[in-house]
Structure 1
Amino acid sequence: MHLLLIEDDALLGDGVQAGLQAHGFSVAWVTRAADADAALDSTAFDLVVLDLGLPDQDGLSLLARWRRLGRDEPVLVLTARDGVEHRVTGLNAGADDYLVKPFDLDELVARLHALMRRAAGRAAPVIEYGGLRFEPAAQRLWLHGEAVTLPRRERALLQALLQSRGQVLTPVQLADRVYGWTDGVESNALAVHIHNLRRKLGDALIDTVRGEGYRLGTPP
């Protein structure tokens, strides 16, 4: 999952980014509302985590503007404003969830996975595709009932394809979900990961759409 984190506190932002990456998220972190606008204009994100106390614009005003413009990315508000009236105002402004600081990272991760399930129109915490069963929250995979261990980036690539079944994802979209913004990406790295997934899970699992990108193929 490719996530945009908007948090101006350097220490907290660094910790949340590292924690979410350890749970399999690809995280782009910005500290200002203007940078968040630019990120959303240039890149597709699955989720947004939004702090309200930004230096250049109040987070609620930013969120309300996004919703007026038709932006529908799931947004979790992460803030120190803990009053009931603050939560009500945030939800009415367009937030999909609201978490008060200080918070537990495991709870944040669980809430983000719940948001993704709702956005994808599914309630079950496990994604099934033929003989594949993938549990995003725990980053666990089974093939025909047997546990399969994959490196982090192969899991991220598989998860992106499973959550976008029926859609063609471009190499840029996949690279965003696998590497995020900060990691250097060698030109053939994505092709190597796809080759490895086909070898481990079945040659027909990933279709190459010439000139466009990749999509899920035949279920194993």
Structure 2
Amino acid sequence: MAYIKGRVARMPQDFLKRKADNTAFLRAQTLVRAKLQATDVALAWYTNKGELNPLETMGLGIVQTRLNRTGDAERSFQKALAALPNDSLVLREAGIYYFKQGNFQKSQPLLQKALVLKPGDALTLFYNARLLGESKQYDAAIVSMRQVLKELPEDPEVRYHMGRLLGESGDQFGGHLNLAYCYELQRNRKQAEFHLEKARSFARDADQKKQVEDFENFRREREELRQ
């Protein structure tokens, strides 16, 4: 998601060169290399590394996915899963891979198992919500996406997919209001205003009208900060 990628991208470059001193650091280092380094640089690192451990094999799968080498990527993910079948990170990244390939049948059990092992992981919840939405399980999808929204209220991608889920479920007010947030966060004032007006037209009770006011205050505060 944009917010997470932005934070990670600002990490110092020597982060990737530092020797791993604990498991959490090694996992974070793997994700930064696989997801944010230039693909040619990352692929060269994996190629020159020699024998890869299971976590590095997962990282290679991510890089291969970015290069559209889907067959190689799937083999890497399957190899990592075979070695670490109960690792929430490997399960999550493999689940995301299959989701992006449109293979929801393979994605679902991987994401669900990852959530059992690490229930509050925002990225797993995000893709689980989208997966549920694909099968029109809107109530469950919205519950999952709301958990993500609590962690990342200013991530435009989260707001976008929440808006889509709510709209498709029949909640036109909530759908348009979240899309207004999405476009405001992207500084697309025209689209933000369009969806704000739509949300305002669907606002029926005092709570919904208060949510519209909250958005207007949010936008005003952002404008003041930009001045």
Task: Give the structure-1-normalised TM-score.
Answer: 0.33
Tell which has more relative contact order, 1 or 2 (C-alpha 8 A, sep 6+). Answer: 1
More strand by share: 1
Larger radius of gyration: 2
